[in-house]
Amino acid sequence: MMREDWVEVVYKEVVNKISTSQKKIKQKEYLIEGLYPIIDQGQDLIGGYTNDIGKILNCNLPVLIIGDHTKIVKLINFDFVPGADGTKVLEPNKYILPEFLYYLTQILVFKIKDKGYARHYQHIEKQNIIIPPLPEQRAIVAKIEQLFSELDNAIANLKAAKDKLEIYRQAVLKKAFEGEWSRCTIGEKFDFVGGGTPSKSNPDYWGGEIPWCSVKDVKNDFLSHTKDHITELGAKESNTNIASPGMVILITRISPGKSIITNIKTAINQDLKIVLPKDDYNSKYIYYLFKSTERTCIKRSNGTTVLGISLNNLKSIEIPDIPVEKQEEIIDFIETRLSVCDNIQAGIDKDLEKAEALRQSILKKAFEGKLLSEEELEACRKEPDWEPAEKLLERIKKSKEEDA
């Protein structure tokens, strides 16, 4: 139920949409050096900077940026260059604080984020919203920022703990493959088979039953599904190759050095390699061995925009020549220690999910009028710019009519 001192209005009644039709800048016009950041799709610094003064949008007050396609909301208080289509620049009117509108808009974006709207501002601007008098808006914003600051500190500590876990993982892998072993190269023990991409312009190649693995699918330890699938014809008429369950797939381009064990029969794209051992190696051993060489792979990689490691550089990396009969001991050593890491990380990930849920809960309470205590509300009512709901609503409606 709406509080009696709050008023209900349509979202677009409290904002002015700033026209950027004469100020947009296309990506091909971006300059490498300049003074003003480019805002595109709700993100900042897309493509670089421009010093073209004719395209600058001067911000006397904070404005709200909404990216239609990325569903990102930002509060901007510096001069910037509006980017291509999809960026909405909104200036709150004098009856709603920019910061209050910023947090309120986050709630609206969160509600529609899974509905697939391409131009979702068209839906936001029609939403009914409820707003309190300005003193209460200020108090709500201050309370949100206080709680969010505490939450952000907790999240930072959780992420720092995750970083330490990753350092520990690397230390475990390093320790596992240390010792008085003779040395050999990756090329002496492994061969590699690359992949390919069926033509995207041929619909007969896509949407079939064969999983098709790319870099975006290489997550965690095991591959159980892929985002894309190809047909038998697509597999036959392209350079892709098929990995069988139990094989290790290695990334050699974009994120070189990362690997995964596939649990499914899958085709691979050109950024990946199927690892083919020359000896009878356990797939988990191969996986952990390549994880231990991940940083070396990155160091041996080249590329300015896209990082990649050549097959020659990959094969030249030195590894310990551990006998097959000793490899189970290596696996046990690693998994005994990493299982503890996995349990701790699972707890951290759950806490991070709870933190995001708490963030949404704080915003929900704020815009239901339940965030402030009665003492805090009473202090708001004593502020000189507090006004009754009916007067506030009348002024908002009149202001919008004058603007029209």
pLDDT by 10-residue block (mean), the chain, 404 residues:
83 81 56 50 46 58 62 67 65 88 84 58 85 94 96 96 93 92 96 96 96 95 96 96 97 96 97 95 95 94 91 96 92 94 94 93 92 94 90 81 65
Instruction: Take residue 212 and report the two structure tokens written for it.
Output: 């098709």
Query: Where do we find the tokens 């997550």?
Result: 219
For residue 254, give the nearest of 224, 217, 285 by alpha carbon. Answer: 217
Supply the pLDDT for residue 189.
Answer: 96
Supply the pLDDT for residue 46.
Answer: 42
What is the rounded distance in angstroms from the CA atom of residue 179 to the CA atom of residue 164?
A: 24
Q: What pTM value is reported for the model? A: 0.70
What is the rounded distance in angstroms from the CA atom of residue 311 to the CA atom of residue 107?
A: 49
Supply the pLDDT for residue 395.
Answer: 83
Supply the pLDDT for residue 404.
Answer: 59
Task: Report which secondary-structure segment, H or E, holds 275.
Answer: strand 272-277
- The torsion angle over the Cα atoms of residues 144, 145, 146 and 150, rounded to 10 degrees, is 100
Supply the pLDDT for residue 208.
Answer: 96
What is the rounded distance in angstroms from the CA atom of residue 296 to the CA atom of residue 292?
A: 8
Identify the burial level of 77 via C-beta atoms within 10 angstroms of its C-beta, where 0-12 means exposed, 13-18 middle and 19 or more buried. Answer: exposed
Q: How far is CA 335 from the centre of its chain?
A: 29
Supply the pLDDT for residue 28.
Answer: 53
CB 144 within 8 A of CB 97: no
Supply the pLDDT for residue 399.
Answer: 76
Supply the pLDDT for residue 271.
Answer: 97
Which domains does the chain show, CATH number per domain?
A: 12-131 (3.90.220.20), 134-181+322-386 (1.10.287), 183-317 (3.90.220.20)
Give the phi and the psi of residue 257 in degrees, each rounded to 5. 105, -25
